[in-house]
Structure 1
Amino acid sequence: MKCFLSNQLKLQQCVMTIGAFDGIHRGHQALIRKAKTQAEAYGVPLVVYTFDPPPKVYFQKQTMLTSLTEKKKFLQELGVDYTVFASFDQTYAARSVQDFIVELGEMNPQEIWVGPGFHFGKEKSGSVEDLQKIFQAYQHPAVTCSAGEVISSTRIRQLFQRQQVEQAYVLLGREPYSLSAVQ
């Protein structure tokens, strides 16, 4: 897996998925696997476009579920070819919807996959519908646990805060070991 900062990667074609991917939980894994399947069908690389730090960590001072090193490791294990790690700060957060779309266009995505509730651009003004005006963009459905509840980074953070570590790891989809959130 090769890593880039925003506005560095230019490709002839790709399939892309975009998101904070904090935790790379079971919902994120399903989204990335779907995008990987599509990339393989087209015979093009898979690009993950993500943020460092994740927006909720930056704006809301939320606990980060995975360090950058861990995130890279999990993305590589999922078969990602390229990852863009956009440095999320006040300047990046002020980018317009159009600026973001122009950057994505430099990678020529055949398809773009996002998760539920996806928004981008200044003040979250962009949505999957904005992407669909330019690209073949799709929203992956929410992934739920066996109890029927949606798996999300927010929910996992709450489980860690309540010391329900085992349940948090079930939602993360991996065995307990070193994770930034529990160190």
Structure 2
Amino acid sequence: MKIFKNGELTLSQSVVTIGAFDGIHIGHQSLITKAVSRAQELNVPSVVYTFDPPPRAYFQKQMILTTVEEKISIIKQLGVDYVIIASFDEHYISRSAEDFLNELCFLFPKEVWVGSNFQFGKGKKGTIEHLSIQFQTFTHPLIKCSKGEPVSSTRIRNLISKEEKQLANDLLGRNLFETIQLS
């Protein structure tokens, strides 16, 4: 797997999945695995486009579940060919939705895979509908736990704050508490 900063990678074809992927929980893993599978079926490289720090950590100062190094390690285990790490900073957040779409054009995606709540660009003006005008876009279904509740990084953060370690680990698909310290 090769790692690039945003704007550095150009491909002739690809399947791209985009997201913050904080925690790389079982929902994220399912989305990335689907994109990798489609890339293999189409015989093109798979690309994960993600952010450091995750947008919610930047804007809302939320706890980061997975360091960028841990995120890269897990993504590599999922069989991804390329990872793009966008530095989520003041410059990046000022970019328009059109600027983001233009950057994606350099990856020539045959398919783009995102989660159901995906938004992009300054002020979250870019929507899945905008993405689908330019690229063949698929929305991965929301993954739910055995109790029927959605799996999300926000939910995992709430479980951690309540020290419900086992359920948090179940949603992550691994033991997070080996790597983070609870206050």
TM-score by length of 2: 0.97
SS at match of 2:74: helix
Residue 52 of structure 2 is matched in structure 1 by 52
Contact residue 3 and residue 84 of structure 2 kept, 8 A: yes
- Hey, what's the Cα distance between the residues in 1 that align with 2:75 and 2:86? 15
- Hey, what's the Cα distance between the residues in 1 that align with 2:53 and 2:41? 31
Residue 9 of structure 2 is matched in structure 1 by 9
1:110 equivalent in alignment to 2:110: yes
- Hey, what's the Cα distance between the residues in 2 that align with 1:90 and 1:176? 29
Residue 69 of structure 1 is matched in structure 2 by 69
- Hey, what's the Cα distance between the residues in 1 that align with 2:58 and 2:176? 26
**Matched letter for residue 44 of structure 1:** V
Q: How does 1:1-183 map to 2 (within 5 A)?
A: 1-180=1-180, 182=182
- Hey, what's the Cα distance between the residues in 2 that align with 1:179 and 1:121? 32
**Matched letter for residue 93 of structure 2:** A
SS at match of 1:180: coil
- Hey, what's the Cα distance between the residues in 1 that align with 2:181 and 2:150? 20
Give the length in aligned residue pairs. Answer: 183
Superposition CA RMSD, Å: 1.2
Runs of 4+ in 1 over 4 A off after TM superposition: none
SS at match of 2:28: helix
Unaligned 5+ runs, structure 1: none
- Structure 1 residue 180: Cα displacement: 3.4
- Structure 1 residue 176: Cα displacement: 4.9
**Matched letter for residue 54 of structure 1:** P
Query: Residues 6-61 of structure 1, C-alpha deviation per residue, up to 9 Å, x if partnerless?
Result: 10000011100000000000000110011011000011111000000000000000
Contact residue 166 and residue 176 of structure 1 kept, 8 A: no
- Structure 1 residue 179: Cα displacement: 2.8
SS at match of 1:126: coil
Unaligned 5+ runs, structure 2: none
SS at match of 2:86: strand
Query: Residues 38-97 of structure 1, C-alpha deviation per residue, up to 9 Å, x if partnerless?
Result: 000011111000000000000000000001111111000000110000000121011001
- Hey, what's the Cα distance between the residues in 2 that align with 1:44 and 1:171? 30
